[in-house]
Structure 1
Amino acid sequence: MARELTGAAATVLTTWTEQQEASTAAPDAGAAVLAALLGDHPASRAALRTWLRAIPRCSGAGLHGGFAGVLAGLRLAARVDPALGPLADRTAARLAARGRWRSREVGFADYDLVSGPAGLLAVLPGAQAAREHLAALAVPEGFRIGGAAPAWARGGVVTGLAHGVAGPLAVLGPGGAPELASWLVEHQETDELGVVSWRSRPDGARRAVVRRQAWCYGTPGISWALWTAGGSFAEAGLRAMDTLCAAYDEEVHLSDNPLSLCHGAAGVLLIADAFARRSPVGGVLRDRLLRFLHARLPDVLAMTDLSLLTGAIGVLAALLTAEGADLEWLPLLALA
């Protein structure tokens, strides 16, 4: 299986490199992640050269498509090419000095993991301005969406790991945000399958069965954030994840982008693996999802989306990691 995965990784990186030569879009850190996992290989070196040339297209400090992601990618790339280390250090110094986020009428970029200061803190724990900003936001009103955001989120407080309060909770660490953790515990619900879960926003419609159980929203990501908070919150997160492991059903819980890191099996695989490495929970689900994704490797190779969060690169990175590859890239998902 290891040879099959490394061959698939090389194939996808080669395709990504060819596509990027004609692209004007800002790259995410996915190519750097997969190149680092593949190691010193012609496909890795070619992908990293192309990724480095594309960095100037990035904007903002976000983790996915911005310079926090560039920093994470540079640190990973430096493991293949140590000459990139000083550039990573300079990027870190510049990012640490950033600190312009709203505390009222916030949008996702003012707090979240994907585009906001939580993502910066995930890859740069010394970013004190980001830490202080997140810790100072009132719970829950400081997280109420009033700025630029999709209509479904506007006016609400979002729960999930990607765009919700679970992201800041996960990166602030044990004791860093007890009010956030308490708020999430207060808003947990049990669906008809017995899964302890959360609505995407507590004032949203209640569903008999919460179908989106993923890294981005639902039990996997939020239970992990509670685990990182420590103490009784960690116990609450562990119990919630255990209920999902007991009731998990691919036919129910995987819908759009069913293989991906963000919405699909690859993200749940990594969270199950993270729990299994630290607790009695998650091991059976991890092994089951490994089999599920291996059986669909031809579908992964056929994906036209080659990004980290929603594409083939993320799925392959998850498979390699769950089978023992390096864990250094996991801060990109707040799973460190």
Structure 2
Amino acid sequence: MTEMPTFPVASTLLTESRWKSEPLLHSSMRQKTLDVVHELAERLQEREKVQEALLKRSTQKAPSLAWGLSGISLTAYTLFSIFQESQWLELAHRYFSQAVACTRHEPLSSSGLCDGTAGLAFTISTLYDVEPRYARTVQRVQEKLLLQVQERTWKRDTFGVAEADYDIVRGAAGILAYLVSVPNPSEQLIEIINKLLEYLIWLAEPSDLPRWSITPPFFTADPSTYRDTFAQGYINCGYAHGIAGPLTALSLAWAAGFRRPGQQEAMNHLAQWLLAYHCRDTWGMNWPVALPLSEISAFDPGSIEKPARAAWCYGAPGIARALWLTGIALEDNHLQTFARDAMDTALHRPPSHRFISAPILCHGISGLLLLGSCFVAEGAMLSQTQALLQLTQHLLDTFQPELPFAYQNIDRDGNTYDDPSLLTGMSGILLTLLTVATGQFPSWARAFLIV
């Protein structure tokens, strides 16, 4: 008999008990939003077109959760969980089978949540909740993930790290956030969780320059430009690739009962660091995209000429979420209040000062809408809830049925392209609209450390 896997078949996430399952939208807007959701969902039925679009962007990321077929499978499963229509469950199975087929041609070398094995595990464990036939597949994915984490080098001998060491997308934060949602974990799984916890606690230890500093040997994006701007290195201040991701992961672990010596101190230190390095402009608080190491000791909150966009990946919304979840985990009212105010600030900004033109989840309108709606559903009493309705209306108004996926992503150069994926495409927009229209808890959003 096959040993039953230890991946989750159900889990109570940190804020699920606080969630008020009430639609954010009034009845007429709710129906219009559900109509768009169904239109988008139907486009997922065109599997060849979806896979072609994903492969066109990247064959390496095609099986992934954030940019590939695993994310499409999770989207279809979420449709099934809400509407209880078997066609969506069958579609989820088909997309996951495609994802697995892709890994046979190009195995996942990353253990990351967004781009690697942890993301595949996230999806298959969700499907296993309703389909026991996946038991052996879950077990194989579990074994591969744990082996990858065990063999990966975490602590570096020299000063400086890469963002991919610790971040949500490829690093320890994303992997840990997934693993701590596993109920009844095996001894091996607990050992791996502790390994990741100890790494993040070590990373957060106070020092003259933060251990999470990105130094020139580890620059990844456009190294020549980075060397001109950050000659000695930099601190990434975003959510996707910054220290706020590890803070959330430590908090999710704490709330799930995984607590190591020094963990609470690490959480407090990282939270206070984020509070200390926020900046302010006409509209209120925000955070820089990055800080040069040369300016850490003489940081001036008013010196940031252009703070980050108001998005999940960078800026106040994502950081606010990290502080909010930490405040809940530690029962720290001050952090919760600060987080709520930061989220309110992001929503208060005029659209032209949010610097988000894409409709997507990562660096776009859906991300801001989803984060804001989570705060409201968890009783945060935001003063800017009207802005959430305006964001929803914007997505409804910009729906373009003539496009393959009704919406397009916009890259940093202003180019538009078709993308059905979860993090940067149609699927993320679909699930965001589904969340605000139904009020159902978005357990799928653990993929991006939102819940």
Query: Normalising by structure 1, what TM-score?
Result: 0.89
Counterpart for residue 238 of structure 1: 340
- Secondary structure, aligned partner of 1:310: coil
2:177 equivalent to 1:75: no
1:236 to 1:92, Cα distance in 2 relative to 1, 3 A: farther
2:286 equivalent to 1:197: yes
Counterpart for residue 75 of structure 2: 34
Identical-residue share of aligned pairs (%): 27
Moved beyond 4 Å, runs of 4+:
18-23, 204-209
CA RMSD, Structure 1 to Structure 2 (Å): 2.6
2:367 equivalent to 1:252: no
In the TM superposition, what is the alpha-carbon distance from 1:13 to its structure 2 partner?
5.0
Between the aligned partners of 1:92 and 1:276, the Cα distance in structure 2 is 35
Between the aligned partners of 1:274 and 1:192, the Cα distance in structure 2 is 26
2:60 equivalent to 1:7: no
Q: CA deviation digits over 1:2-40, x for unaligned, max 9?
A: 243123123035231454688733322221221112223
1:55 to 1:234, Cα distance in 2 relative to 1, 3 A: farther
- Secondary structure, aligned partner of 1:190: strand
The equivalent position to 1:301 in structure 2, one of 406, 416, 427, is: 406
Q: Which runs of 5+ in 2 are unaligned?
A: 1-32, 66-70, 81-85, 181-189, 255-263, 296-301, 409-417
Q: Highest Rg: 1 or 2?
A: 2
Between the aligned partners of 1:268 and 1:21, the Cα distance in structure 2 is 27
The equivalent position to 1:290 in structure 2, one of 392, 397, 400, is: 392
The equivalent position to 1:65 in structure 2, one of 102, 112, 115, is: 115
- Judge conservation of contact 2:167–2:243 (CA < 8 Å) in 1: yes
- Secondary structure, aligned partner of 2:346: helix
Counterpart for residue 315 of structure 1: 429
2:321 equivalent to 1:219: no
Between the aligned partners of 1:102 and 1:124, the Cα distance in structure 2 is 20
Q: CA deviation digits over 1:180-222, x for unaligned, max 9?
A: 11111001111122x2011012348944453511000000000
Which letter maps to 1:328? S
**Which deviates more from structure 2 when the two are superposed, residues 160-169 or residues 83-92?**
83-92
Which letter maps to 1:248? R
2:101 equivalent to 1:49: no
Which letter maps to 1:34? T
In the TM superposition, what is the alpha-carbon distance from 1:255 to its structure 2 partner?
3.9
**Which deviates more from structure 2 when the two are superposed, residues 36-45 or residues 218-227?**
36-45
Q: CA deviation digits over 1:135-158, x for unaligned, max 9?
A: 111345210012243244771111
Between the aligned partners of 2:281 and 2:75, the Cα distance in structure 1 is 37
- Secondary structure, aligned partner of 1:196: strand
- Judge conservation of contact 2:406–2:426 (CA < 8 Å) in 1: yes
- Judge conservation of contact 2:54–2:420 (CA < 8 Å) in 1: no
In the TM superposition, what is the alpha-carbon distance from 1:178 to its structure 2 partner?
0.9
- Secondary structure, aligned partner of 2:235: coil
Between the aligned partners of 2:303 and 2:429, the Cα distance in structure 1 is 30
Between the aligned partners of 2:289 and 2:308, the Cα distance in structure 1 is 11
2:252 equivalent to 1:161: no
Counterpart for residue 172 of structure 2: 117
**Which deviates more from structure 2 when the two are superposed, residues 14-23 or residues 135-144?**
14-23
The equivalent position to 1:25 in structure 2, one of 60, 71, 74, is: 60
Aligned residue pairs, count: 333
Which letter maps to 1:238? R
2:304 equivalent to 1:269: no
Q: Which runs of 5+ in 1 are unaligned?
A: none
1:326 to 1:93, Cα distance in 2 relative to 1, 3 A: farther
Which letter maps to 1:293? L
- Judge conservation of contact 1:35–1:77 (CA < 8 Å) in 2: no
